[in-house]
Structure 1
Amino acid sequence: MTLTESSQSLDELLKPRRLFRRLIAVIADLRLAIILLLSIALFSISGTVIEQGESVAFYQQNYPEDPALFGFLSWKWILILGLNHVYSTWWFLSLLVLFGSSLIACTFTRQLPALKVAQRWKFYQEPRQFQKLSLSTELKTESSSSLIAQLEKKGYKIYQENQAIYARKGIIGKIGPIVVHVAIIVILAGSIWGALSGFLAQEMVPSGATFGIKNIIEKGLVAASPLTKNWLVKVNRFWIDYTPDGKVDQFYSDLSVVDKEGAELDHKIIHVNKPLRYDGVTFYQTDWGIAGVAVQINNSPVFLLPMAQLSSKGSSRIWGTWIPTKPDLSEGVSLLAKDLQGTMLVYDKEGNLTSAVRPGIPLEINGVTLKVKDLIGSTGLQIKSDPGIPFVYTGFALLMLGVMMSYVSHSQIWILQANECLYIGGKTNRAQVSFEREFLQIIEEINEAQTPTLSVANEIKN
């Protein structure tokens, strides 16, 4: 093999390595990281502005094509771009992966090498080396013992080689940025894992019913089906507290987690901002409704009728049902209710208001005695499983720790004893004013320690 052929073979072997290094350099570029971070922030904001996980009809009603929001954003584009579930779209997850890769590359190519350099001690052997330091001076003394004592008192770690001394403190400040990078990577990993393995569901459950999680709105690619859970949830009771003026103050759900045989595994009364957590699944109280009404005609057994929410032009919600007053269903009345406080309106078949009734009070109508026993409320639950949450919380804890560590100044001081002089110089990466004060204080204390020694020496000489 000729020299030229050997050189070509070597170039072919080194080419992939060079391409890899160029790729790492591009990924680790600070400008790319900033662009990715701004993109993630922008799409995250869009996920808070545009409602997530709603039905197609909801987006058609709230984001019509004419007029489109901002002139172009209609329900079609929201569905096409996946803006109705931003945090689980492939492009958003790709941004997270790319940003995490940028942080990892930056950590290994910049932060870790910078830490290794900071951990090495180096000595200045020539007085001229002190001229390049931001702070430097020289003292007419041949002893450095008092200076070493002052540095140790202020927390410096001392390294000495013959007449040269190197002192440093605050190496933790160099570790802080690495911890920050690791924390952000952990947060990103937790977010990605949560999007891939979690699910979001909603259930509207009548009081007294037992249910399994079925109405799934979103589900990650590798998420286990909630139907495989070996437990169910029972709504023991649902109720609402009202303010004196009749407005909803708070609504509550008494929930029990039960196994297949009905044995209770967990129990909690939940309300808004106080969820139930069990087996990695969180149950949030988000809504309420009226599921049905228990009625009695004359002396008949009490029977249940479902109530449906009716469309209304106003902001208030209304539920209604039809109650037959004859066995052949030829006659009946309509019953309307707007809340669970008990007052209901009764309309005849022509749509005329005939009476207002409360539970337990009999009403004579169409030749029969109608008695409304009770209104049955239903609880609206948002059910969420996010296995990435522990990683996200851990990442945020590390992030706060890393930020605090990063504020610690990394200070360095060099000392050289030469030509019957003591050369002193130093620098720091932050808190320059504080370091200057500390440096001057050390010099002053050395001068004060020298003054009595010089006085005694002069007396002996005289």
Structure 2
Amino acid sequence: MENIICACGHSNPYGTKLCEKCGRPLTEEGKQTKVVDMRYDGSAIRSKTYNKTFIDKIWNFFSSVKVGIALIIITLVAASIGTILPQEIYVNAPDAGKAEYYEKVYGWFGKIYNYLGLSDLYSTWWFQILVGMLAISIIVASLDRGIPLHKSLKNQRVKRHESFLKRQRIIAEGQVSNPEETLEKVQQKMTDLKYNVRRDGSALLAERGRFSRYGPYINHVGLIIFLTGVMIRLVPGFYVDESIWIREGETRAIPGMEGYFIKNNKFILETHNNKPQGEQVAQGVNVVAKNFQTDVTLYKQPEGSLPGDLDNLEKVRDYSVRVNHPLKEEGFALYQMNYRLNELKQMNFDLVNKETGESLGKAEIDLTNPKKEYDLGNGSSVQILVYTPDFSGFENGEPQTKTSIPNNPAFLFKMKTPETPEGEVSFVEIMQPPLEPLGENKYRMKFASADTRNTANFTIRKDNTIPILFVGGIIFMIGVAIGSYWNHRRLWLQVDPDGKVIMAAHVNKNMFSMKKDLDAVSSFADLPPYIDQLEKSEDVENSTKPAITKKEGDNTL
């Protein structure tokens, strides 16, 4: 598309509304408008100029303010929906059983909620695409409008055509007796008012607060940095938010901290002596925790070791993890989040004769890692055919478990003795009589005792994106302050040798501040009175409206 040649001879890019040199309107619409649109000083905006190629259409889509607002609303609505039910990181269930957890606890709504990815909203592909589209919209809109605005502000001319000046909102026309003296007085006063004044012969341009025009674009830069910080949380190593349950005496690899292991030496719970009161009683609180902490040992795996090798761990340090006192190492922080008391650790059974009660030996079953078979000596043994840590019933004749935590252990035993070398089968669960599916048994497994232990829950966190989010937030707030508390004021003054003066003024917002400065400079330099063309138009419009009268006896207007 060809450039537009103004009457002054300047060549303007296609789509320019006001000549870059003299300010003459270049479009029919601009020539018929009484007050010109100075939002971008008449510069050519790509999205408002080109709409032919596929790239143009994509650019125009993302540069649209309506599209940007729609993306913001959709993102906020999606984020709000993600708070209806707890996110997966706050659900006390194994990864494989979280889908069943949502369905069991929240019914069909929980099932759909988890299926749509709302239970792990901020990591879903569609939410990340939504955030990415919002970032692209901000970038494209900033480039589409910011670059032309910067060029127009940077290349402002002091001398402007009379048609440009008369199409500003604030104008004044009249005669002065001494043109040079008037220019000097205006320059002096505007300089005193902290304006940047430039002269070009008999023309003057006074400008103040140009930087405020960049406030929205500084906002955009801050938002882009902030959204970048949000998106790179998906990059491995930038953001870690994991959870681990570890029992007393147990050593486990720390998820997210490659090469590090932690051992739970002891869990300590201290309570207040005073009894629960008020809302605590209503919520069923029996005791009020004063302190709960876990004494741990942090280990690191030497380089070259095989994954999961616990024999050659190097001790890093001992630490007592308490609430708000995490264990910190290499940017990671381990927080004490929860605990479980008296979790079953080991169950002890005696193999006894049902008639005589004679014991043939004891089987000590570690509920975390049970053996397949226990040799009781004297030709007697016990084999575990099925072990369900958290028995929840039978399905198609098979015992089922809800979780891998030994909350309700159940066993299917096969017992062999010299008297019963073929073995007898018995299903045993807590507080229930044993089931003997193959007929009456001579021997049974009798519960003897149980050992318990406490379990602590830790959250492992590392967030390298916090500095990025912080910088983005600070830049955003700087842009908000610049755009809110400062404004861009300009005054043009041109005086002919015969004493004819034309003054025009523009401010991007807060017209009261501009008029206050105009009153000061007009009084000081004895300039002709100015008029606000928008207010004048409103007055004329109101004066042309027909008067509304009320006839006597008529209750309608």
TM-score bin (small chain): 0.5 to 0.7
Match of 1:271 in 2: 323
1:207-356 to 2 correspondence within 5 Å? 207=248, 209-214=250-255, 226=256, 229-235=258-264, 238-243=267-272, 244-245=274-275, 246-249=287-290, 251-253=292-294, 257-260=298-301, 261-264=313-316, 269-272=321-324, 275-290=326-341
Match of 1:414 in 2: 492
Decide whether the 8 Å contact of 2:254 with 2:260 is kept in 1.
Answer: no
1:418-457 to 2 correspondence within 5 Å? 418=496, 419-447=498-526
Question: How has the CA–CA distance of structure 1 residues 59 and 90 changed in structure 2, closer, same or farther, with 3 Å as cutoff?
Answer: same
Between the aligned partners of 2:432 and 2:104, the Cα distance in structure 1 is 32
Between the aligned partners of 2:264 and 2:79, the Cα distance in structure 1 is 35
Match of 2:218 in 1: 179
Question: How has the CA–CA distance of structure 1 residues 153 and 269 changed in structure 2, closer, same or farther, with 3 Å as cutoff?
Answer: farther
SS in 1 for 2:212: helix
Question: How has the CA–CA distance of structure 1 residues 82 and 425 changed in structure 2, closer, same or farther, with 3 Å as cutoff?
Answer: same
Corresponding letter in the other structure for 2:80: I
Between the aligned partners of 2:85 and 2:464, the Cα distance in structure 1 is 24
TM-score (normalizing by structure 2): 0.56
SS in 2 for 1:49: coil
Matched, 1:60 2:89: no
Which structure dedicates a bigger proportion of its chain to helix? 1
Post-superposition offset of 1:133? 2.1
Question: How has the CA–CA distance of structure 1 residues 291 and 195 changed in structure 2, closer, same or farther, with 3 Å as cutoff?
Answer: farther
Corresponding letter in the other structure for 1:80: Y
Of residues 18, 30, 53 in structure 1, which corresponds to 2:53? 18
Question: How has the CA–CA distance of structure 1 residues 208 and 415 changed in structure 2, closer, same or farther, with 3 Å as cutoff?
Answer: farther
SS in 2 for 1:63: helix
SS in 2 for 1:409: coil
Decide whether the 8 Å contact of 1:293 with 1:304 is kept in 2.
Answer: no
Between the aligned partners of 1:178 and 1:414, the Cα distance in structure 2 is 26
Between the aligned partners of 1:436 and 1:236, the Cα distance in structure 2 is 75
Q: C-alpha deviations, 1:398-435, integer Å up to 9, x for none?
A: 11111112222111111212232543321111122122
Between the aligned partners of 2:320 and 2:491, the Cα distance in structure 1 is 61
Decide whether the 8 Å contact of 2:332 with 2:461 is kept in 1.
Answer: yes
Q: C-alpha deviations, 1:25-44, integer Å up to 9, x for none?
A: 11211111111111111111
Q: C-alpha deviations, 1:193-229, integer Å up to 9, x for none?
A: 1034344321122356543224xxxxxxxxxxx36x2
Decide whether the 8 Å contact of 1:258 with 1:266 is kept in 2.
Answer: no
Between the aligned partners of 1:321 and 1:134, the Cα distance in structure 2 is 81
Q: C-alpha deviations, 1:239-264, integer Å up to 9, x for none?
A: 34434223235534456644345443
Question: How has the CA–CA distance of structure 1 residues 34 and 268 changed in structure 2, closer, same or farther, with 3 Å as cutoff?
Answer: farther
Matched, 1:404 2:468: no
Between the aligned partners of 1:202 and 1:306, the Cα distance in structure 2 is 22
The alignment of Structure 1 onto Structure 2 pairs a total of residues equal to 356
Post-superposition offset of 1:152? 2.2
Between the aligned partners of 2:214 and 2:316, the Cα distance in structure 1 is 49
Between the aligned partners of 2:297 and 2:329, the Cα distance in structure 1 is 10
Between the aligned partners of 2:51 and 2:184, the Cα distance in structure 1 is 55
Post-superposition offset of 1:350? 10
- 4+ residue segments displaced more than 6 Å: 303-311, 319-322, 348-351
Corresponding letter in the other structure for 1:206: R
Question: How has the CA–CA distance of structure 1 residues 108 and 349 changed in structure 2, closer, same or farther, with 3 Å as cutoff?
Answer: closer
Of residues 448, 451, 461 in structure 2, which corresponds to 1:384? 461
Between the aligned partners of 2:269 and 2:151, the Cα distance in structure 1 is 62
Structure number with greater Rg is 2
1:103-182 to 2 correspondence within 5 Å? 103-126=138-161, 129-138=164-173, 140=176, 141-142=178-179, 143=181, 144-182=183-221
Match of 2:131 in 1: 96
Indicate the larger mover: 435-444 or 384-393.
384-393
Between the aligned partners of 1:247 and 1:382, the Cα distance in structure 2 is 22
Between the aligned partners of 2:171 and 2:338, the Cα distance in structure 1 is 69
Between the aligned partners of 1:321 and 1:394, the Cα distance in structure 2 is 51
Decide whether the 8 Å contact of 1:284 with 1:381 is kept in 2.
Answer: yes
Question: How has the CA–CA distance of structure 1 residues 124 and 196 changed in structure 2, closer, same or farther, with 3 Å as cutoff?
Answer: same
Question: How has the CA–CA distance of structure 1 residues 431 and 304 changed in structure 2, closer, same or farther, with 3 Å as cutoff?
Answer: farther
SS in 2 for 1:264: strand
Q: C-alpha deviations, 1:280-299, integer Å up to 9, x for none?
A: 4333332111255999xxxx
SS in 2 for 1:232: strand
Between the aligned partners of 2:204 and 2:132, the Cα distance in structure 1 is 46
SS in 1 for 2:107: coil
Between the aligned partners of 1:253 and 1:28, the Cα distance in structure 2 is 54
Decide whether the 8 Å contact of 1:232 with 1:258 is kept in 2.
Answer: yes
Between the aligned partners of 1:184 and 1:254, the Cα distance in structure 2 is 42
Query: Which consecutive unaligned segments of at least 5 residues does structure 2 have?
Result: 1-49, 92-97, 276-286, 302-312, 347-363, 369-388, 393-405, 410-429, 434-447, 528-557
Q: C-alpha deviations, 1:369-399, integer Å up to 9, x for none?
A: x9x9x98543211223444333222211211
Between the aligned partners of 1:130 and 1:379, the Cα distance in structure 2 is 75
Between the aligned partners of 2:101 and 2:267, the Cα distance in structure 1 is 27
1:1-12 to 2 correspondence within 5 Å? none
Decide whether the 8 Å contact of 2:491 with 2:506 is kept in 1.
Answer: yes
TM-score (normalizing by structure 1): 0.66
Corresponding letter in the other structure for 2:245: M
Between the aligned partners of 2:339 and 2:113, the Cα distance in structure 1 is 28
Between the aligned partners of 1:255 and 1:444, the Cα distance in structure 2 is 79
Corresponding letter in the other structure for 1:60: E
Between the aligned partners of 1:48 and 1:349, the Cα distance in structure 2 is 40
Post-superposition offset of 1:238? 4.0
Decide whether the 8 Å contact of 2:339 with 2:456 is kept in 1.
Answer: yes
Match of 1:458 in 2: none
Post-superposition offset of 1:101? 1.2
Match of 1:45 in 2: 80
